[in-house]
Amino acid sequence: MAQGASGTGQGPAAVLMRIVPLAPATLMIVAFFLVPIIWAIYTSMTNLGLSGYAARNPSFIGFENYYYLFTDPRTWAALGRTAVFVGLSVAGQNIVGFCIAYVRQMATPAIQSLASVIVITAWVVPEVVAGFLWYTFLRGDESGMNQIFDIFGFAHQQWLLTAPLAAVIVINIWRGCAFSMLVYSAALQDVSSEVLEAAEIDGAGRMQSIFGVILPIIRPVIAINVVLTTLNTLGVFGIIWITTAGGPGTRSETLPLLMYNQAYDFGLIGYGSSIAVLLLGFGVIASLIYVRLFKVGEARNG
């Protein structure tokens, strides 16, 4: 039997009827997602400025911004700090999130609800607000942290000045671990109690059950959550900007802050766009890994 243009035995009219409903969503994706990305890529190849002649009459300069970007030591330093910030934040959020989810499932319903409210409250607080809360808690001799240290006789600390990158990593873990807790709480529900009981009968202790039974079972969920938290952490700006502004000097300057500084402090919109495109590339790589892991998970689940 001859088939139509669609290859399913239906004519062009039927194919058109399937395409038309997708048109609004496709147009929205193109208008609100692809067009800004394409424009950012184009802008990164110009000398567009924030003001002045370069703002009114930008010129196409090819890959010149990328040449300066990859030959600037400040870029590589920011890239290294971004890698440390993302790596430790993702590891911390996943480990803390899993620990809270694991302990929470053994608690009474009332404690479970209380723990969920406390942790999720930290998550829903906007980045800027969370950053300001921690800024007031950590900054100065009269900060909340140093007043607590006074009670125990500890020396005052100025971690926003002496260890700024570590401080913003801790803050980001504090704010982001709720998402991992929710993911792992759902995953732990799928771990069969019979399997855990069988491991206990075989003599497995709590740590052996966690590392030998639970983690292997929820491994696909861990992989996907790691990618999702990586995507989320790559774009963190508000927490760092409010607490340290990338300083002192550039000691906590990550790529998003470098992009902001170049674009708005120095007025180099084109150069800042090239940093944005670099970040976009990292995001695309993480997204491809996520899609790959998601398909693997679907294949395993049949």
| Residues 146-194 pLDDT 10s | 999 999 989 888 899 999 999 999 999 998 888 899 899 999 988 888 8
- 130-134, 139-143, 246-250, 252-256: range with lowest mean pLDDT: 139-143
d(CA 232, CA 183): 14
Q: What is the pLDDT of residue 141?
A: 82
pTM of the model: 0.85
Q: Is the pLDDT reported for residue 275 higher than 90?
A: yes
pLDDT band at 117 (very low <50, low <70, confident <90, very high): confident
Q: What is the pLDDT of residue 297?
A: 65
Q: What is the pLDDT of residue 184?
A: 93
- Return the domain boundaries, the chain: 72-267
Q: What is the pLDDT of residue 9?
A: 53
| Residues 6-41 pLDDT 10s | 445 567 777 777 777 778 878 887 777 889 999 999
**CATH topology classification for 72-267:** MetI-like fold (1.10.3720)
Q: What is the pLDDT of residue 2?
A: 43
Q: Is the pLDDT reported for residue 4 higher than 70?
A: no
Residue of 124, 123, 102 whose CA lies nearest to 112: 102
| Residues 209-268 pLDDT 10s | 999 899 989 988 998 899 889 988 988 999 999 999 998 999 999 999 999 999 999 999
Q: What is the pLDDT of residue 29?
A: 79
Q: Is the pLDDT reported for residue 53 higher than 50?
A: yes
Q: What is the pLDDT of residue 1?
A: 41
